[in-house]
Amino acid sequence: MTIAATSPSVSLRHPIVLWIAQLRAWVFLALLIAFFEVWARVTGGSSFVFNVYNVQSILVFATAPLLLALGQTFVIISAGIDLSVGFVMGLSSVVAAHASNIVAARLGLPPFAAMLAAILAAAAIALIPGLINGLLIARLQIPPFIGTLGMYGVARGAAYLFAGGMTVAIDNDWYSAIGNGRILGVPVLVIITGLACLVLHYMLSQTRFGQHTYALGASKAAASRAGIDIKALTLRIYLLSAVMAGVAGAMYTGRFTAGAAQAGEPLLLDSIAAVVIGGASLFGGSGTISGTIAGALVIAVIQYGLVFIDVEPFWQFIAVGVVIIVSVLVDQTQRRLMGGREVE
């Protein structure tokens, strides 16, 4: 005979407890900032967080992985994963650089037009791997890990072919201003990323598309019985993920005034980590854009903070890895406690 232990389940389902659990990434971020602030004041008499340059650097540093993670949030909530976003970003970065140069040099259009053409070209080229990913997973029932891993290789090869094995430099003041300019002291990249966060937060929390994404991740069978077109929804989710990678690639080209095939290679794991640290479950059905923002900021603060206190850069990987493992353990523990335990 099995008896469900309901008392822990009841207490842990209290709205306040649920709210605290959802905010755990923000709490951890606050603790991290406090740690680096205390360290800075004790060791050097300076400030970590009350320093405009540090704050701007952290925010700019977080933009690229966050743009990737925004699309990845939808994918992971739907119980999938997109391993191709890093090189889709690189491919988009290279295509954006070529588009800017072609429109300006060959067509003779002004820099502003070249910049717009570059951003549109980056988003458009990203649709191709996104479409293929969606078709492989939705129509051919290929597991997301395998399908997007294959596209990882395809996008990687295509990016290096388009780049000719080199970075593709651009000369466009308008485009450079997108990547390095400021409006009222706020980096343009941060403003663009913030607007993307608002749009995707609305999509996930306030639209039918977002509700269906949660339903798909919670139970594919139940979502199908509820009348949701699983194949069409899956296709749209992977298209969205690819488009966000395209936007990240376009922003990279503006920031560094060059397109690079390897632009997003080191950011793939960061994009997944940001979503997981932010409270999303790798089993699907849960996650928020606000949590992903917190997760991306946690990674940025760890990486920038360790450099700030003069720790060797290699420790960044260890620190982020530990945070990911702890986040997954917390998620699994929370799931077990929230669902109740069975006692023999």
Render pLDDT for 192-232 as a digit per residue (tens, 0 to 9). Answer: 999 999 999 999 999 999 999 999 999 999 999 999 999 99
Per-residue pLDDT reduced to its tens digit, 229-250? 999 999 999 999 999 999 999 9
In this structure, the chain runs to a length of: 344
DSSP state of 102: I
What is the spatial distance between Cα 263 and Cα 254, in angstroms, rounded to a whole number? Answer: 12
DSSP state of 103: I
Strands 186-187 and 258-259: unpaired
* Residue 325: C-alpha distances to residues 165, 187, 300 (Å): 35, 32, 17
Task: Write out the residue range of the structural domain in which residue 56 sits.
Answer: 3-343
Per-residue pLDDT, 343:
32
Per-residue pLDDT, 71:
96
DSSP state of 106: I
- Spatial CA neighbour of 316 closest among 11, 30, 32: 32
| Count of structural domains, the chain | 1
Domain holding 124: CATH number? 1.10.3470
Per-residue pLDDT, 21:
58
Rounded to 5 degrees, what angle do the CA atoms 256, 259, 261 make?
125
What is the spatial distance between Cα 100 and Cα 172, in angstroms, rounded to a whole number? Answer: 8
DSSP state of 84: T
What is the spatial distance between Cα 233 and Cα 212, in angstroms, rounded to a whole number? Answer: 8
pLDDT < 70 positions in the chain: 1-22, 334-344
Tokens of 308: 């700030």
Per-residue pLDDT, 240:
97
Per-residue pLDDT, 324:
81
- Spatial CA neighbour of 288 closest among 13, 60, 73: 73
Per-residue pLDDT, 299:
92
What is the spatial distance between Cα 22 and Cα 223, in angstroms, rounded to a whole number? Answer: 24
Per-residue pLDDT, 16:
57
Are 192 and 184 spatial neighbours (Cβ–Cβ below 8 Å)?
Answer: no
Tokens of 66: 């966050």
**Maximal CA-CA distance, the chain:** 79
The SS3 call for residue 93 is helix
What is the spatial distance between Cα 302 and Cα 314, in angstroms, rounded to a whole number? Answer: 12
* Residue 117: C-alpha distances to residues 63, 93, 108, 229 (Å): 22, 13, 13, 34
The radius of gyration computed from the CA coordinates of the chain, to the nearest angstrom, equals: 21
Strands 258-259 and 168-169: antiparallel
The letter for the amino acid at 222 is A
